[in-house]
Amino acid sequence: MNIIFLLIVLLAFGFAGWHQLFWIPVEGQTAPIEAVSKAMVESSAGAVELAIGLVGVMTLFLGLVKIAEAGGMLTILARLIRPLMVRLFPEVPPEHPAMGAMILNMSANALGLGNAATPFGIRAMQELDKLNPQPGTATDAMALFLAINTSSVTLLPTGVIALRAAAGSLDPAGILPTTLFATMGSTVAAIGAAVFYRRFFPLKTSRKAAANHTAEPVAGGAEVNELPLTGYPLWVSLLALGAVAALIPLAIFFGRTISPWILPALMVFFLVFGFLRRVRVYEVFVEGAKEGFQVAVRIIPYLVAILVAVGMFRASGGLGAVVNWIGGWTAKVGLPAEALPMAIMRPLSGSGAYGILASIINDPAIGPDSYTGYLVSTLQGSTETTFYVMAVYFGAVQVRRIRHTLAAALTADLFGLIFAILACKFLFG
C-alpha cells in the first residue's frame, strides 16, 4: 500500500506538472498545479466530513450486530457450517482446534465482522501449522482456507451499507442480493480452484504427523474452546445452504420491491432475536454502538490518505487519461472505467479500496445509486483483500512457500468480479 499511495501521488504530480508546462492562461480557468492543490485541500476536508456522516450509520449497524453476536448467532452459524467443513477439510481432525477456528472465522465473515474474523483466521493458521508435515510450506488445507477466506459468503456487508447510507443512497441495502450472489459464486470458484490447482503443486503429506498430533489449548482464545463439538445434522446444513441460495433468485427478481424493507426488517429481526435469547438489547446495542463510533473515527486517516491521492490524480487529468485509454474496452463487459481503480485496488488494500469506494459514490457525476455505484459497492462487500490476508495469515506461521494459494485466491477474486458484474447488470444495468 505504501508503494501504491506514493505512485498515485507521483503520477498526479507528474501529470499536473506536464500540463502546467504547456498550459496557456485563460480567464476563468484554473492552472493544473493550482487545481491539484485545491483538490488536496477539498479532498482532505471531504474525507473528514464523510467520516463524521459515517459515524451515526456505523454505530447503528455495529450495535445491531453486537446484539446478534451476544445472542449466539455466531455459534448458530458455526453449527451450520461444521458438517460441510469436515468434508471440505478431511485432513483436519473434526475436533482439532483448527477446525473450530476456521468455522468461527467464516461465520464472522458472513456477518460482516471483519475485526472479529481476523483473530480467528490467524488462530486457525497457527493450528493448521501444527498439522503441517513441512513447516514453511502451505498445506492443501491452508491454501483452501485462504482461498475461501478471500471470497467467503457475506450475508451482511455492514460497512458498505453504512458508507452508502452516509453518501446519501436512497437504497443503502440494495447491494445485499448482488453481494450474496457474488460471494456464493466466488466461494464455489475458490473451492474448485484450490482443488484443481493443488494437483500441480504436490505436497508430501505425512499421515503419521497428523495422527501423532496432540491438540493443545489455544493460547489466549477461549472462543475456540467454547465452540460446540457437534454441529447440526448434515441435512440441516444443506437445507440452510439451500435456503440461502434460494434467496438469490428471489432477491434478483424482486430486489427492487423488497429492498426498502430490508433495513427495517433487519433491525426488527436482530432486536427480536436478541430479546428471545435473553440479551439486554438496549445495553448491548449501546456497547456495540460505542465500537462503531471508534471504528468510524479510526478510519479517518485512511480515508484522508486515499481520497487526497485520488483527488489529486483526478484533478491532474491522469484519471481521465486512464479512463479514456482502457475504459472503452472494459465498459463492453460491464466494467465502467470509473470502477477500474476499485477492481484493481480491492485485492491489494482494504483501506485503499474503501477510500476509492467513498470517492466514487460521493462523486456527484456517479453517486451511490448508479450502476457504477452499485457495482463498486458490491465489489467492496463481496471480495477480500487477498494480499493482505495472505501476508497476515501466512506471516503468523512463517509460511514462505505458498504453493497454489495465490492462484486460487486470485481466481476467486476474478469470479467475484464476474458475478458482481452479472448481478448488477441484471438488476441495475
Give bridge partners of residue 137 from the DSSP assignment. 401
Q: Give pLDDT, residue 62.
A: 73
Cα–Cα distance between 296 and 51 in angstroms, integer? 6
pLDDT computed for residue 196 by the predictor: 94
Residue owning grid cell 453449527 = 79
Looking at the predicted structure, is the pLDDT value of residue 329 above 60? yes
Distances (CA, A) of 329 to 326, 335, 340, 378: 5, 9, 11, 21
The mean-pLDDT minimum among 112-126, 207-221, 227-241, 303-317 falls in: 207-221
Q: Write down the residue that cell numbers 498526479 correspond to.
A: 12
- pLDDT averaged over every residue in the chain: 80
Going by pLDDT thresholds of 50, 70 and 90, the confidence category of residue 211 is very low
Q: What global pTM score does this model have?
A: 0.71
Average pLDDT score over residue span 132-160: 86
d(CA 214, CA 157): 38
More confident residue, 418 or 342: 418
Tell me the C-alpha distance between 359 and 382, whole Å. Answer: 19
pLDDT(227) > 70: no
Q: How far is CA 98 from CA 77, 84, 111, 162, 204, in A?
A: 17, 15, 20, 33, 20
Closest CA to 295 of 44, 1, 57: 57
67-86 per-position pLDDT tens digit: 877 888 777 877 888 888 88
With cell 477439510, the residue in question is 89
pLDDT of 24 > 50? The answer is yes
Cell of 389: 490476508
CB 277 within 8 A of CB 72: yes
Residue type, 250: L
d(CA 271, CA 70): 11
Name which residue leads in pLDDT, 360 or 392. Answer: 360
Per-residue pLDDT averaged across 318-342, rounded? 79
Contact 170, 367 (CB under 8 A): no
CB 345 within 8 A of CB 383: no
382: nearest Cα among 352, 330, 423: 423
